[in-house]
Amino acid sequence: MHRWTARHLPDQTGRVAVITGANSGIGFETAVALAGKGARVVLAVRDPDKGARAAAHIRERTSRADIDVLPLDLTSMRSVHSAASELKATYLKIDLLINNAGVMLTPKSVTEDGFELQFGTNHLGHFALTGLLLEQMLPVLDSRVVTVSSLGHRVKSDIDFDDLNSVRSYDPMVAYGRSKLANLLFTYELERRLAACSSASTIAVAAHPGSARTGLFRHSPRWIKFAAQIAEYVVFQPAAMGALPTLRAACDAGVTGGEYFGPRGLGQQRGYPTMVTSSARSHDAALARRLWEVSEKLTGVTFPC
């Protein structure tokens, strides 16, 4: 479909959607669209006050909104386990897990568990959350794990297993590209495992928003912030448009596991969502398996499938 929009979303009544980082930007617009179609939406956010304000704004935009707010700090395995336990106690099933939250070009820092901040937040936090929630999804017809990557997965990106936490050297762009490449390696390896699991009704899909007006550049160096402000007038699209690839990956009936969605125009930076290709490196199955094994060891989380 050439111009797929949120109007093409099927009815989501009875479905439960968990969205990380849903208090602003792409995650917020994804939540608005799903709530407007009747889904029960869980805003899994680091700051519950911001989550409560986002929930109020969503209710203002759609009268049928059914919204919950869940504290989740992806930089803390303790918080990830706590959030997963609360979700499993509250919901008998989860239809959609949208791994949306992320940080970009942060100063050198580590998570509560000692992981480099971008890799720990963007990949390891979502890896652990998915593994802990997957049992709630496996029996659910058309359940999906959607992980949001970025065009940045192509930039200076590789997985340096000898220095995952950037102890020897730290380049914010290298660390960001690594985390976004990891998102895709994780998605494709998860789909391979789900496809081999006879009891699984779940698929794994990836998406990227192109260049969208969000708060993702807030940690960037001053010159990058300045360039981003200029680019907003030329390239960047509204967050609601940036959310469309995620929504299509999550809800379009024609989607199959292992697909990747992004904007169709201008170097995948803007436009309506379509299936796109990711880098050759992201399809390296041996690299994905090694990353999976290392991620299990680092997080202590193993998957049921």
Give DSSP secondary structure letters for the chain: -TT--GGGPPP-TT-EEEEETTTSHHHHHHHHHHHHTT-EEEEEES-HHHHHHHHHHHHHH-TT-EEEEEE--TT-HHHHHHHHHHHHHH-S--SEEEE-----SPPS-B-TTS-BHHHIIIIIIHHHHHHHHGGGTTTSTT-EEEEE--GGGGSS----TT-TT-SS---HHHHHHHHHHHHHHHHHHHHHHHHT-TT---EEEEE---SB-SSGGGGS-HHHHHHHHHHHHHT-B-HHHHTHHHHHHHH-TT--TT-EEEEEETTTTEEEEEE----GGGG-HHHHHHHHHHHHHHH------
Catalytic residue selected from 170, 176, 188, 233: 176
Of 74, 165, 73, 75, give the one whose Cα is nearest residue 111.
Answer: 75
* C-alpha to C-alpha distance for 148 and 151, rounded to whole angstroms: 10
Instruction: Give the C-alpha separation, 146 to 8, whole Å.
Output: 18
Active site residue 176: yes
What positions carry a catalytic annotation? 176
